[in-house]
Amino acid sequence: MLSGLVAHDFRVLLINHTAVTGVVEVQWPLEKVCSILMPNEEKWDGNDHLWSEILSGILLNEAKSHP
């Protein structure tokens, strides 16, 4: 469904917080969906180092609009 709405290549990152001590990659059956588990404690302020690890190397390329 989303593929029909998005003009460019994309991926979806699904994050569930649960009782783990670090980032755990989970196999997900849908194409273009990546799933991970992250620690449930201190979700908003305590996982900055994990977010840095997860987002390392990811860049945003803004599409240029054509008149």
Q: What is the pLDDT of residues 5-25, one digit of tens each?
A: 878 778 899 999 999 999 999
CA distance 24 to 35: 9
Closest CA to 37 of 19, 59, 63, 64: 19
Q: Mean pLDDT over residues 20-38, rounded?
A: 93
Q: Mean pLDDT over residues 29-43, rounded?
A: 89
CA distance 4 to 43: 33
Q: Is 44 helix (H, G, I), strand (E, B) or coil?
A: coil
- Is the pLDDT at 65 greater than 80, yes or no? no
